Structure 1
Amino acid sequence: MKCPRCQHETPSDAEFCPECGAKLALICSQCRTANAPGHKFCKKFGQPLPSGAARAPDASRIISPQSYTRFRMPGPTVTSSSPGTTPSTITPA
């Protein structure tokens, strides 16, 4: 069985995805039967299942790591009064 959230291949007896932790089965509130994610109704009882099932993420809400990764700050700028002498001032960039 593939996880509906991350598409990781999971063991057939798993209740949660070992990769992302998504719940893999929906339990019918009437008969306690485990139903696969994505089912809207219980396979044995026909009762509507909870809608909070794990779903594949909405592609429009996925952000790239570059959009939230902090930029590296440049090091201090070293200046001197004349080339080849010992620096006299260190100022942050």
Structure 2
Amino acid sequence: MKFCGQCGARLGAVCPSCGSDNPPEHKFCGQCGALLDRPGLQDSVSPAPFTPKPVAAPDRGAMGALPGEMKQVTVLFCD
């Protein structure tokens, strides 16, 4: 593919330093190592923010203490 199916922007990048063509997945030029600047592609793709679903706490009144819930722990702090 040479063009984006969403916005029509040209895929791939021409290096601003040496002018060589680079594949769309490259962030740096394969010829000289310069950073490939593609401002149009970053603006067209925005990931949806992740929001975790709330988890209901178990009803402890009906069950009492859960087995294995209480454990003795020894903690040592070193400075």
If the TM-score is normalised by the length of the shorter chain, which range does it land in? 0.3 to 0.5
Q: With structure 1 as the length reference, what TM-score do the two structures score?
A: 0.39
How high is the TM-score relative to the length of structure 2?
A: 0.44
